[in-house]
Amino acid sequence: MKKSLLWVCAILLGIVQMVYAQERRVTGKVSAADGQGIPGVSVQVKGTTRGVVTDASGLYAINSNSTSDVLVFSAVGYRIQELTVGTQTTLNVSLQEETKALDEVVVTGYGTQRKKDITGAVTVVKGADLTALPTANLTQALQGRAAGVTVGNDNSPGGGTMVRIRGFGTINNNSPLYIVDGVPTQGTLNNINPNDIESLQVLKDASAASIYGARAANGVVIITTKKGKPGEPKLTFDMYVGVQRPGKFLNLLNSQELGQQIWASARNVGQTPSHGQYGSGEQPVIPDYIYPSGVFEGDARVARDANGNYVNYTYDLRNPDLGKTKFMITKANKQGTNWQKELFNPALIQNYQLGTSGGTDKGSYAISFNYFDQKGIMKYTNYKRYSLRANTEFKLKDRIRIGENFTVSYDERVGITNNDESNPIAFAVRMNPLIPVYDVAGNFAGAKGANLGNARNPVAELYRNKDNVTKGIHLFGNAFLDLDIFKGLVFRTSMGIEYNTYNFNPFTPLDPESPEARNTNSLRVENRYDNSWTWYNTLTYNKTFGNHSINVLAGTEAIATYDFIFDATRSNYAFEDPDYLYLNAGSPLGLQNSGRGVNRTRLFSLFGKVNYAYKDFFLADFTLRRDGSSRFSAANRYAVFPAASVGLRLSELAALKNVNFLSDLKIRCGICASLSFRS
């Protein structure tokens, strides 16, 4: 009996040992040279679909079935490292940074190219760099990150931006062409979430951008969004919350300093100083009231009843006695109103990003949801954006791959135009410091008094604009198919769409306090709709023989765009409550309708490109594109755009190969023909 039990125990122990030998848990930490853990490192069993990703501390745990298993550790910016598991259950790895990124593959138009083989002017910006600072949109994030690229913006939440690549090239549209995952966009980049960007390439010179033909005269910005990677499903959550504060203000005069300046300027030209508010004495005297003009306490026009109410006060612009016996009584701010401080406040900015990604050798996915909310440092301005992106790719057979990149977003913006003299910032500079923000009744004060200028109260302007929201819905994406015809030859077809719709219903109320007050209110309803589709097909052939390598690209592209704007206006609204502001509530006498018509365009193109490299030393690039545009008459519809560039990588010379401080030295030159028909 005892022997039987011993045999059973031995067998069970052997089974346990066999199971243990079949599958073991291998754990460890992946760290950088400084010992800090690296998050997001892909750890995969070589030759299988089993893989994990390191956590925020660089720790990982993975199952191994054999002592001969090889773990592959890879991360962006680090050299790939492989280690055999053997009999170990703990494997700690130190990854070395990839100091030379010359073999990095970048998107250069309808395809990819090794960075060291590029003969044009191309700048690559990583997605991590774009999100290093909190920004509302992608173009703001690009500022200062690419040489030769100038980014300007109106600094308002969700406001417009200006991107110029190597200056101005025309008196018309100088904006570059934006390509997102192979699809050109005709809208703004506000609806693209910067957290979804994997990389961004700026094609700065004509030889690099010529593959896009007539649309690329101002340069091209190619945006690639994040894709899923093989490995276990990964769930990420990122957020930040911050406070924005206004920077340095202009040092403007206060009430007393302004009076002294007026007196000095009059005497300097030989005149006797006199002013509707400061009087005409030897020195300027600040009155108690600026409307009625230059009035002091005790004046009958500012008399009060037993309850302290001003008996001659009115805020009714239509009162026939306004300015005669009735006034919008306003006290003088004797210390001086700092209109800049009244206009700006610290403001909250917050961003929340939830994403999931993963995949196998048969398919991958990356899905993200983003909420962005930015309050403006200028009062009553803000921008909100909700966006959802889904990128997927599947391998149907060994030679066929299909996928899609799609995003949908909704945004709301409350802002103002700040590029003319009639905006709140300009009014804050022009507004007389004698004028307070509010009058004696708590209504907005203005410059109705004598010699106070014609600027409008900027705080009132912003407050009255707070319900004028621009709403937009945006859909953008493409579906594609890749077919490996034979080794080195790949066919791709891609169909992209863009859809944008906007609604803007600005209401302009009365402004009784203004010196040039509006005599009626009005509502304008504007609806805009645009869409486009892009279909391109390419054949790409790669071949290396001996010291020679060649890449040939040929393709066709068809693009159609459509946009339409309709707006209508009515005035003389009896109520200014936002719930009652719709067209039919206004007076028919103030009705104006205007449909700005439909704008349709078509573009058809044939293009080809050849890249040649000899021993990684001599590089050549030849491009030819023929564009046909519906914008021109039949006799002038087509144009051909050739381009050529060559380069010599001097760092490949034996005399320079071992120079430590020289990672890559290249001289290049190019020539091309281009024009622009973008309006």
Given a cut of 80, whether residue 311 has pLDDT beyond it is yes
Q: Which pLDDT band, with edges at 50, 70 and 90, does 535 fall under?
A: very high
Asked whether residue 184 is assigned to any structural domain, the reply reads: yes
Residue 165, pLDDT score: 85
Residues 111 and 80 in one domain: no
For 495-536, the DSSP string reads EEEEEEEEEE--EE---TTSTT--SS-EEEEEEEEEEEEEEE
**313-355, pLDDT tens digit by residue?**
999 998 999 999 999 999 999 999 999 999 999 999 999 999 9
What is the distance between the alpha carbons of residues 670 and 133, in angstroms, rounded to a whole number?
Answer: 36
Asked whether residue 267 is assigned to any structural domain, the reply reads: yes
Q: Which pLDDT band, with edges at 50, 70 and 90, does 590 fall under?
A: low
Q: What angle do CA 43, 46, 47 make, to 5 degrees?
A: 135
Least confident of 4-8, 163-167, 200-204, 565-569: 4-8
Residues 161 and 290 in one domain: no
Asked whether residue 428 is assigned to any structural domain, the reply reads: yes
Classify 654 as helix, strand or coil.
coil
Can you read off the two tokens belonging to residue 345?
């406040």
CA-CA distances (angstroms) from residue 244 to 73, 235, 414?
40, 30, 17
Least confident of 140-144, 216-220, 501-505: 140-144
Tell me, what CATH number does 58's domain have? 2.60.40.1120
Given a cut of 80, whether residue 460 has pLDDT beyond it is yes
User: Averaging pLDDT over each range in 540-554, 574-588, 644-658, which range is the top one?
Assistant: 540-554
Residues 88 and 110 in one domain: no
Asked whether residue 40 is assigned to any structural domain, the reply reads: yes
Tell me, what CATH number does 152's domain have? 2.170.130.10
Residue 419, pLDDT score: 66
Global pTM value = 0.80
Residues 133 and 215 in one domain: yes
Name the domain boundary from 60, 94, 128: 94
Least confident of 172-181, 287-296, 300-309, 395-404: 172-181
Q: Which pLDDT band, with edges at 50, 70 and 90, does 173 fall under?
A: confident
Of the candidates 600, 597, 594, 576, the one whose C-alpha atom is nearest the C-alpha of residue 586 is 576
Residues 225 and 119 in one domain: yes
Q: Find the domain containing 80 and state its range.
A: 22-94
Residues 303 and 261 in one domain: yes
- Helix runs in 86-176, H state only: 127-130, 138-142
Residue 75, pLDDT score: 81
User: Positive or negative CA dihedral for 290, 292, 298, 299?
Assistant: positive
User: Would you call 274 exposed, middle or buried from its count of C-beta atoms within 10 A (0-12, 13-18, 19+)?
Assistant: middle
Residue 420, pLDDT score: 72
Average pLDDT over residues 572-592: 83
Q: Which pLDDT band, with edges at 50, 70 and 90, does 104 fall under?
A: low
Name the domain boundary from 449, 464, 479: 464
Residues 75 and 158 in one domain: no
Average pLDDT, the chain: 87
Asked whether residue 554 is assigned to any structural domain, the reply reads: no
Residue 321: how many other CB atoms lie within 10 Å: 11
Given a cut of 60, whether residue 78 has pLDDT beyond it is yes
Residues 310 and 424 in one domain: yes
Give the CA count within 13 Å in the CB-facing half-sphere of 563: 12
Residues 227 and 126 in one domain: yes
Find all residues with CB under 8 Å of 574, minimum gap 6, and list them. Answer: 585
Identify the residue with better confidence: 50 or 104: 50
Residue indicated by tokens 């030998």: 21
User: Averaging pLDDT over each range in 3-7, 36-40, 186-190, 307-311, which range is the top one?
Assistant: 307-311
Are 382 and 375 in contact by the 8 Å Cβ rule? The answer is yes
**198-210, pLDDT tens digit by residue?**
888 888 887 788 8
Distance of CA 152 to the CA centre of its chain: 12
Name the domain boundary from 69, 94, 119: 94
Of the candidates 587, 445, 577, 416, the one whose C-alpha atom is nearest the C-alpha of residue 512 is 445
Asked whether residue 129 is assigned to any structural domain, the reply reads: yes
Residues 123 and 213 in one domain: yes
| Structural domain count, the chain | 3
What is the distance between the alpha carbons of residues 139 and 555, in angstroms, rounded to a whole number?
Answer: 29
Residues 135 and 209 in one domain: yes
CA-CA distances (angstroms) from residue 490 to 113, 229, 419, 552?
15, 22, 49, 11
Whether residue 292 has a cis bond before it, omega within 30° of 0: yes
Classify 583 as helix, strand or coil.
helix
Residue 186: how many other CB atoms lie within 10 Å: 16
Asked whether residue 597 is assigned to any structural domain, the reply reads: no
Residues 428 and 280 in one domain: yes
Identify the residue with better confidence: 673 or 524: 524
Given a cut of 50, whether residue 100 has pLDDT beyond it is no
Asked whether residue 518 is assigned to any structural domain, the reply reads: no
N residues, the chain: 679
What is the distance between the alpha carbons of residues 638 and 251, in angstroms, rounded to a whole number?
Answer: 57
**439-452, pLDDT tens digit by residue?**
999 999 999 999 99
Given a cut of 70, whether residue 12 has pLDDT beyond it is no
Residue 678, pLDDT score: 60
Are 415 and 466 in contact by the 8 Å Cβ rule? The answer is no
Identify the residue with better confidence: 45 or 293: 293
